[in-house]
Structure 1
Amino acid sequence: MKEPIKQIRLLLVSNNEELQTLLQKYVNDLTVAKSEEEAKKQFHSSPADIIVCDLADSLEFCKELKKQAPTVPVIFIGPKDEDLLYEAINAQIDRYFLKPYDFKQLKKTLQEFETKIFMQKVKEYNTFMLHQYKNAIDSSNIVSKTDINGIITYVNDEFCKISGYTKEELLGKNHNIVRHPDVPKENFKRFWDTILSKKIWKGTVKNRAKDGTTFYVNTTVIPILDWNGDITEFVAIRYDVTNSVKLQEKLQKKERELETLNKELEKRVEEKTKQLRELNLTLEKRVECEVTKNREKDRMMFQQARLASLGEMLGNIAHQWRQPLMELGILLYKIKKLSSDEKIDEIYEKGTAILEKMSQTISDFQNFFSPDKKKERFNVAEVIKNTQAIMEGVLKKSGIAVNLQYEEDIEVEGYKNEFSQVILNIISNAKDALIDANPPQKIINISMKTSQNSLTIEIEDNGGGISPHIIEKIFEPYFTTKQHKKGTGLGLYMSKMIIEESMGGELGVKNGKSGAKFIIKLPVKV
């Protein structure tokens, strides 16, 4: 533990001055109670995140605290006594340290608890934010979900409001409950063919409400896939465009009426003109002039009506701003996958960078459903090669050579895609460092070595290394040196979480001979 623990409040119940002095160096928010009564008052007035108890015969007190706050970790320091240890285990005391205790191990335990507490708070915060995002979408859109057979599994209040049905009347029913009988069956066949092929469907749909009235919605249906790429459900997001469609229908009707009226008017004018021409040439000219004025007025009315329709339609288009961002990302990815041209790779990199900037403030809402992840065995060298291939065009364009050295193929158990993301993130950071430093030869060396039951992966560049005053901070969340590049500061933090929390390994960094060296250690199960 190189820095004080800033994220937790620790209550120390002890008369041990040495322990108090040592903990004060590593815990910013430390409360000390020298008796059980004092500890009770402190705990009730300002609940602690972790409790460390080092009072003789205080196990009963710890058990009482554990009952009151079962989620608060309790560390008990006591004598080597099997009965006492068994009693502590039954009371679900989180850690039992024997006297004399190992302070280094105590610090390590506190750090583990701090990490768990921090991750729980992150989880609670993310859940809180997701609820807000969901509420924001539900309050401004018409949302529904169905299973793969079209059976409704969720509707929001806006859906109930526009359809006239209650949630109880909709849940468990087929979505065709709101289908309008005027819509041809061929339309629905094309619709199902699209979404069952895992593509997004968009269009304006004519529906019928419970009371028989008609409403129109601009609809986007998105297939939701699991980790295996299979469809699990469909999410539909809609906007009410009933007024716009009805206005358009009225305008079209008005156009037809105006066209008919103009034709009739022209006939009447021609007849009247013939009559007037015989009477007076001057009067004929005046009539022609009046006819021209009337036509001009009709054109102006028609133009104003079309402009009003255009304004209404533009307002509805604005509501769909968020959808094209996602579709552009998909199109860029498809273009990249269909081409091996380096220029396409460059365009893809620039395009995705622009999309990331545009969607930075709305980026955490795309994964509402996150299915359970399953570990798998995968070949480490193969994943590194595939990851390197993804960046091959960018690396070659930047004049960067990547050397991969290993003695044998090693398989580990973990999350293949997440591990690939870690390698991609480290290589990308090395690329940026090499471009900034611009040495005569830009090189990234990757080596793999095995020893006993572990695999060590070293990724080293010759970009000059990391400044000593920030090297200990680069794994902290939101810490970044790329302000001018709009870095988020989460890449290395998430990489460390993936390696250490998800895969049970270690991720560290140090400066090598000519650049930064990232070291990944993973357990290898035979």
Structure 2
Amino acid sequence: MDHQEWEQRKRKLQERAERVLECTRMDTSSEDLHRDNHNLRVHQIELEIQNEELRATQLQLEKERARYAHLYHFSPLGFVVLDKAGIIVEANQRFCTMLDSLQSKIIHQPLMRFIHPDDQDVFLGRYSTFFKSPSEKKIEFRLVSTAGGAIFVRLSGCIQPSSIVQRSGQDNSTTLLLVALDDITSQKQAEEALLSAHKLTRSTIDALSATICVLDETGTILAVNKSWCDFNAANGKEQAVWEGVNYLKVCDGSTGEDSDYGKRFAAGIRSVMCCEAEYHELEYPCLLDDGYHWFVGRITPLEGECDKAQRKVVISHEDITVRKKSEALLHDFNRKLQERIDAEMLRIERLQREKDIQQMALIQQNKMAELGGMIGAITHQWKQPLNSINLLNECLRDAFEHGEIDQAVMNEHIAEVQHLVTFMANTIDDFRDFYLPSKETSRFAVKPVIESVARLLKGQLMKCHIDLTIDGDDALHTSGHSSEFKQVMLNILNNAKDALLEKKPDEKTIKVQVFAEADTIVVTILDNGGGIPEQFLDDAIFEPFFSTKGENGTGIGLSLGKVIVEKNMGGSLTVANRDGGAEFTITLPMI
């Protein structure tokens, strides 16, 4: 009941009440009239209460109607009422939105008008059957909006009494169909993308050279790639359909001399299926029509199956015959290369031994080159003690002739002679040690070795009026061939002596310092002989056969000295000009 009908009913009720009241006034007494008036008043109040309740009910009904109308029009589904001919009798707002059109332009139009031309035959072919029995039936097609865009919909429906959607002029006996249209465009796009991805995956797998199959939890083949089929067909195992074959049984039933590989591979499949292993790989030989080939079989769980107790797996087999042959060739090459390396190392060791022998010979040769000067120095050093011994003998004879010899005189004579002989013997020992070839490395004190070289040169230096001083710590030890180190010091001191004789300064000095610095021993040899020309201060001064003395030098001493210090003793030998002379610095490891 709408508001207008309610007002009409109210007016009729008032008119009736007035007529009754008019009749009552004429036929009744005042007492009756008062009673009737009271009853009417009560009745009026009751009517007013009923009226208010009816108004409240009407408002509630209007709200519910508006709510359900909103749900109907703005539902995610498009609702359409069709007659038997497929004419749209009613449509909600959602359907109008799908078509991007107004409701007034949709009502009384055939649904066919809004269906994509390619799908119209499908719809016509199924609509009559669908209309008679729509239960559990669905039709999928495309709708075309007024803007030209197409959307996929899924249509489902049910028979609806026409009285529910009756419009003016319609027959109540007409059977109508209420249909719901679900927009499945996103679903269709997802399906299309999934299908495209499946095709891409399939094409990719088929393009692989490895043979691939997928097994279910029982070991039955679910899918294989093209290489699988081609390989088996090429080797006499052509089969129309591989899907459904139990691959585990095939492996378990392997026969022949390589059957153990098949059983081991089956065990690997089961270990991955049962989650005992995440991966299994096996290299195995296989006899084909063209001979033995090597393959590697790999087993991995199918993606998404990792959390299951029993899972599907992917099997791949790859021919690695070329790799195996390459590995064999590489192994043979490495063996031959190692043999060549061993032979070359033996040759290098032999050459090194020969080089060491040559170096020792060169050192000895350098010593021999100094032999003449050394003999001259020893001769000079022996002249004085020999003269002293001769003079002592003359004195002893005179004392004997004059009867002046007693035990005290004899003891004094013998002591002086022994002192002179000891000096001469020490000189010979130093000379012998210097020219004795080196054999084994040993620990030695640096300063005493330098002092032994100085004793050999003492006579020459005194003759040339050269003052040699040696200062430092006697307890600093290093390791090496002491005779070789003596050779280095002799060469440097001789070079300093030659430079002083050439430059002739007023005071000729050579200062040797021996001191510790961190974990090393430093030896500096400084003269005041004018220094070395600047152009020779780089490594040229240590090059073999390079000499600043012209024809008077061999050019061997300093080059040998650098080899001995740096290679044989693990130290360094450098030179620089300082304080009007050359300063050689030797750094040795301290032990």
* Band of TM-score, shorter chain: 0.3 to 0.5
Q: TM-score, normalised by structure 1?
A: 0.34
Q: Which has the larger radius of gyration?
A: 2
| TM-score (structure 2 length as normaliser) | 0.31
